[in-house]
Structure formats: structure tokens, C-alpha cells
């Protein structure tokens, strides 16, 4: 695909261009490693590295033009067009959308934001839309699925240039609807700029990413941008939809900033969509889904357990009802979701105890997940968890407290330590535990050994919860990214127990 530089610059009326803007370009990129011959290079001032420092490398790699917010950008040869803009992140989104002929205008796009539940809600909405005979693409933490193709996900929400390319591919694949997780980073960094959303879903807001956001208000403000933009400069036909979790303390502040009519859902509030008669076991949840807008009810069974997953089902249902999808279709779609990778995923080891792998990596999500385990009435809960390196240190003692107060026994271990010393991370976790004076835990920084320890100490009726990594199949230590899967590791040691004849009755 090729476009004239002058054509895609029209969306940036304040840009100051010098050089030949009539030249043909082959794409837009902010990454010199991925840049192809003839691409425009957009220099973005990063949080750790400045894209302007890579302008010489971009030119060497074949950049056809340079876009920057730094007027005195150096090392740009006289033959290479230079475009000066006010905001290079915004420019990347605008140019990428224009290059791919504004693909979001040809798709029905739903954005899901919140600290927890985004992935599960995206899978549920996908299932409902497929049951409603729509062709669906899903972009999120686990991967980017477009038609028959799956692209590994480096970020929950990709960079705007990659995202616009994916939306263009979705149009080519004749996709009807795109369901995407929208992270606070993506909203703050304009990754979803120039995308006209048709619906937005808010799941919840709890402490996370405070290594990036300066405080919870800043975190909330980033999330709220998705809702503030609904209907703004609308070019597609049809109403815009906001779906908001009325149970969440921050819901009122999101509602205040939502310019379109909202549909609410909740378990503990008088919301538009609710649940009653909830029953659950390790195999899933049965409950009566209440559509209070249309005065209808439908009993359904969902194959993920926990009250937090009841909330996720209500979010997807509220979205569907707001879109006019029949409750029977909603039920059939939801009941087809057998599991979501790494989300309260039961590992089948044919043992008299249960092993669950979950992505919970904040104090709130860990608390909710352990409570979900407790709701299954186990004999004991043994929790394995860790905290990521180079991330918000403030949540570490809180995670430790959540684990030891709600579990019978906890094993603190390593979880993507990155450039930090795993032992120091564990010490941060222990500071919270020591304030409580509790001793029902141990530290074992080798994650495989920690999982093996938990599985081997489990007996009949116990639940072993392995939290933090979920679907991830890697461990990042220093600059190394090595294969590691909680699921595979648990299965390995469950198989060893089987071979060694341990019966789990002790």
C-alpha cells in the first residue's frame, strides 16, 4: 500500500512541512527496528528513550520523511522532508489512520477499559456477537486475533501505527466488529487516537500502574478519556453506548464524564442489569440474569467460577442488551465460552485437589481471586504469587497482606523481576505481612520450585492458586525473556505426583 505524503498530512493542519511533500510513502512507523523502506518515521519522546535520537538510524534504514515535535531536529539530510508538529504521539495516530484510509469508520468498535476483567469481558462479548452472526476480531492482552490470524501481543493495546494497520486488515477480512481492550497507557499515549468507538465498557478501577500514573486521579482521568470521546466529532451512523459497573466506587465519576446514555450493571446495586440466585462450584456459576430495562430474566450457566466473573458476564450482557441483542442469544453466546486462558483457569490433573491459574497481579485482583476460591469451600487455599519488577512498588506489601489474610498458606516467588533483584522484591512484599505479624508463608524465589512446593503440599479438598502470570508463557529476568508457563509447570508436577503414587489423601 502506498500514499502521497501530502494526502495524509491533511489531518494535521498545524504541521509545518519542508521538502517534497508530493513523494509517495509506504507506511508510518515510530520504531526504527520495524521501519521499512519508504516509511515515514515519527520521532516520539519516550519515557526512557527519545525517538529523536534515532532519526539518523531511521534515515539510514530508508525513512522517506521525518515527523517530530522538536523544531531543531538534527541529522535530517536536505533531501528528506521534515514535518514539525505540536504533538508527535497525536501525529502518529493521525498519520496512521489517514494512511490506512480511516479503517475505524468501516468497523463497529467496542473498547473495554478497567483494571480487571477486560480480557474475560472481551471473550464474552466476542461470543455473543458471534452467536448474533457477526464476524469479530479481538485485540487484547492475550493476543490480537483477526480472522484466522493471531498476532502475539506485546501490549494490551498496540501502538497507534500497528493498531491502525490491524484495523485495516480487519476491513480487508470483512470483519464486522472489533472488540478491544483499551489500557490506561494507550489512552494517555494517544494509541487509540483517531478511532471512533461505538461502545465503551468500564469494568472497575483499583490500584495499578502507579509507576506510570502519578496517582489514582490521573489513572481515572486516563480511563475516562474513552468515555468522554463517545460521540465526539461522530462520523458513523447509530447511537454510541456506554456500559458502566455500578458496583465500582469510581462509576459515578465515569458517568459524569460520559456524554451518551449509559447502561449500568451490578451485583450489589440497583443497576439496569443484575444477577440473583447465584450458585457456584469449581466448574462454573449458575445464576438468574435480570434485564431490568426490559423486565426479562434468563437463567444461565457460565464455565468460569467466582463472583468477579458474574460481574464480567453482566458487563457483556449489558453491552448486548444496549445493542438490542436478544437475551436468548446472549445466553447461548455466554454458555459457549468454555474458558479464558489464564483467567481462573482450572488445571485438570485428575487429582483430589484443585489447581487454578489466574492473571491476578494487583492487590485487589489477588484479593478477589482468593475470595473466589474461598467461595468454593476448599479445605485449604495455598497461594503462589509474586510482584513484577520495575513496576509500582507500593502494591507489593498490599499484595502480601491480601495473600496471607485470605489464604491458609502463601508462597512468595518471582514474577518477571526484570532489572530488579527478586530477593528485594520479596522483601517489599514481606513488609506488609510483617506489619500484620503473620507467619503463614514462605519465600521461594525460584518460581518453578515454588509451584512444585505448593502442588506437593496440597491434599484432598485443597485449592492451589498460582497467581500473577496467567496466560503468559515467559519470565523476564534482567534482559532475558525465557519460556515459562504456570500451566505447563503445574501440569508437570501433577504428572510427577501421579507417577510417584501420591494420592492426595493426607
| CATH at 44 | 3.40.1390.10
Q: What percent of the chain has pLDDT over 70?
A: 98
Please say if the pLDDT value at position 506 is more than 50: no
Residue 211 lies inside a defined structural domain of this protein: yes
- For the chain, the 3-state helix, strand and coil shares in percent, each to the nearest 5, are 35, 25, 45
Q: Of 62, 77, 99, which closes a domain?
A: 99
* Closest CA relative to residue 254, chosen from 226, 232, 274: 226
Residues 49 and 186 in one domain: no
Q: How far apart are CA 199 and CA 315, in angstroms?
A: 12
Contact 410, 404 (CB under 8 A): yes
Decide if pLDDT at 314 tops 70.
yes
Question: Are 228 and 281 members of one domain?
Answer: yes
What value does the mean pLDDT take over residues 59-77?
A: 88
**How many domains are contained in the chain?**
3
Last residue in a domain, options 304, 335, 366? 335
pLDDT for 56: 92
As a whole number of Å, the CA-based R_g of the chain is 24
Mean confidence (pLDDT) of the chain: 94
List, in sequence order, every residue forming a beta bridge with 356; answer none if it has no partner.
346, 465
**Residue 505 confidence (pLDDT):** 45
**Taking the C-alpha atoms of 141, 147, 150 and 153 in order, what is their torsion angle to the nearest 10 degrees?**
-30
The CATH number of whichever domain residue 446 belongs to comes to 3.90.190.20
Q: How many residues does the chain have?
A: 506
Q: Same structural domain for residues 168 and 287?
A: yes
Which of the four pLDDT bands, split at 50, 70 and 90, describes residue 502? Answer: low
Q: Are 445 and 385 in contact (CB under 8 A)?
A: no
pLDDT in tens, 154-186: 899 999 999 999 999 999 999 999 999 999 999
Neighbour tally for 20: CB within 10 Å: 13
DSSP per position, 431-498: HHHHHHT---EEE---HHHHHHHHHHH--TT-EEEEES-TT--EEEETTEEEE--HHHHHHHHHHHHH
Condensed to tens digits (0 to 9), the pLDDT of residues 336-376 reads: 999 999 999 999 767 899 999 999 999 999 999 999 999 99
- pLDDT 10s digits, 79-108: 899 999 999 999 999 999 999 999 999 999
The stretch 408-416 carries a mean pLDDT of 98
476 pairs with which residues across the strands? 481
Residues 39 and 111 in one domain: no
Residue 49 clears pLDDT 90, i.e. is over it: no
Q: Is residue 126 a part of any domain in this protein?
A: yes
Residues 238 and 164 in one domain: yes
Burial degree of 226 (CB within 10 A; 0-12, 13-18, 19+): buried
Q: Rounded CA gap, 304 and 74, in Å?
A: 55
pTM over 0.85: yes
> Could you say which DSSP state residue 54 is in?
G
- Nearest-CA neighbor of 10 among 96, 100, 105, 95? 95
- Domain match, 331 and 373 both: no
Residues 293 and 369 in one domain: no
- Domain boundary residue among 47, 80, 99? 99
Are 304 and 281 a contacting pair, CB within 8 Å? no
Q: Which of 120-124, 263-267, 300-304 has the lowest mean pLDDT?
A: 300-304
Distance CA 167, CA 460 (A): 49
What 3-state DSSP class applies to 135? coil
Classify the C-alpha dihedral 119-124-125-131 as positive or negative. positive
Q: Mapping DSSP to helix (H, G, I), strand (E, B) and coil, where does residue 40 land? A: strand
**13 & 111 share domain:** no
| Co-location of 310 and 431 in the same domain | no
| Model pLDDT for residues 255-287, shown as the tens digit of each residue | 999 999 999 999 999 999 999 999 999 889 999
> Which residues constitute the domain of residue 215?
103-335
All three cell numbers of 349: 490433573
Amino acid at each position: 500500500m502506498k500514499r502521497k505524503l501530502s494526502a495524509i498530512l491533511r489531518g494535521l493542519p498545524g504541521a509545518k512541512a519542508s521538502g517534497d511533500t508530493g513523494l509517495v510513502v509506504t507506511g508510518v512507523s515510530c520504531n526504527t527496528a520495524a521501519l521499512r523502506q519508504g516509511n515515514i518515521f515519527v520521532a516520539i519522546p519516550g519515557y526512557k528513550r527519545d525517538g529523536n535520537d534515532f532519526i539518523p538510524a531511521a534515515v539510514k534504514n530508508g525513512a522517506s520523511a521525518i515527523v517530530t515535535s522538536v523544531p531543531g531536529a538534527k541529522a535530517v539530510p536536505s533531501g528528506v522532508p521534515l514535518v514539525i508538529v505540536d504533538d508527535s504521539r497525536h501525529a502518529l495516530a493521525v498519520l496512521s489512520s489517514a494512511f490506512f484510509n480511516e479503517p475505524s469508520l468501516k468497523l463497529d468498535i467496542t473498547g473495554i477499559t478497567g483494571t480487571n476483567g477486560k480480557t474475560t469481558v472481551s471473550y464474552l462479548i466476542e461470543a455473543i456477537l458471534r452467536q448474533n452472526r457477526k464476524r469479530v476480531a479481538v485485540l487484547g492482552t492475550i493476543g490480537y486475533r483477526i480472522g484466522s490470524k493471531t498476532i502475539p501481543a506485546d501490549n494490551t493495546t498496540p501502538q497507534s501505527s500497528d493498531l491502525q494497520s490491524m484495523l485495516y486488515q480487519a476491513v480487508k477480512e470483512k470483519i464486522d466488529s472489533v472488540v478491544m481492550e483499551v489500557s490506561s497507557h494507550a489512552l494517555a499515549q494517544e494509541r487509540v487516537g483517531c478511532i471512533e468507538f461505538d461502545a465503551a465498557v468500564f469494568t472497575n478501577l483499583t490500584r495499578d500502574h502507579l509507576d506510570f500514573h502519578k496517582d489514582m486521579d490521573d489513572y481515572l482521568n486516563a480511563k475516562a478519556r474513552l468515555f468522554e470521546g463517545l460521540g465526539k466529532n461522530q462520523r458513523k451512523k447509530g447511537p454510541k453506548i456506554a456500559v458502566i459497573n455500578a458496583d465500582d466506587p469510581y462509576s459515578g465519576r465515569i458517568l459524569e464524564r460520559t456524554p451518551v446514555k449509559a447502561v449500568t450493571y451490578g451485583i450489589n446495586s440497583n443497576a439496569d442489569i443484575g444477577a440473583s440466585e447465584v450458585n457456584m462450584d469449581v466448574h462454573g456459576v449458575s445464576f438468574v440474569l435480570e434485564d431490568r430495562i426490559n423486565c426479562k430474566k434468563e437463567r444461565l450457566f457460565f464455565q468460569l467460577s467466582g463472583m468477579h466473573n458474574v460481574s464480567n458476564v453482566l458487563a457483556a450482557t449489558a453491552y448486548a442488551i444496549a445493542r438490542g441483542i436478544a437475551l436468548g442469544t446472549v445466553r447461548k453466546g455466554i454458555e459457549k465460552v468454555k474458558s479464558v486462558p489464564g483467567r481462573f483457569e482450572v488445571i485438570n490433573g485428575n487429582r483430589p485437589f484443585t489447581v487454578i491459574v489466574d492473571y491476578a497481579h494487583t492487590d485487589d485482583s489477588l484479593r478477589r481471586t482468593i475470595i473466589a476460591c474461598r467461595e468454593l469451600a476448599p479445605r485449604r487455599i495455598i497461594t503462589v504469587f509474586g510482584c513484577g519488577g520495575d513496576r509500582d512498588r507500593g502494591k507489593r506489601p498490599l499484595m502480601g497482606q491480601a495473600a496471607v489474610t485470605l489464604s491458609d498458606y502463601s508462597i512468595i516467588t518471582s514474577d518477571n523481576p526484570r532489572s530488579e533483584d527478586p530477593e528485594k522484591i520479596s522483601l517489599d512484599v514481606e513488609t506488609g505481612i510483617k506489619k500484620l505479624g503473620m507467619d503463614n508463608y514462605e519465600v521461594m524465589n525460584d518460581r518453578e520450585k515454588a509451584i512444585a512446593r505448593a502442588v506437593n503440599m496440597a491434599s484432598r479438598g485443597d485449592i492451589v492458586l498460582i497467581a500473577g502470570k496467567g496466560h503468559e508463557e515467559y519470565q523476564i529476568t534482567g534482559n532475558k525473556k525465557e519460556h515459562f508457563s504456570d500451566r505447563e509447570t503445574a501440569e508437570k508436577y501433577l504428572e510427577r505426583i501421579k507417577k510417584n503414587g501420591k494420592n492426595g489423601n493426607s
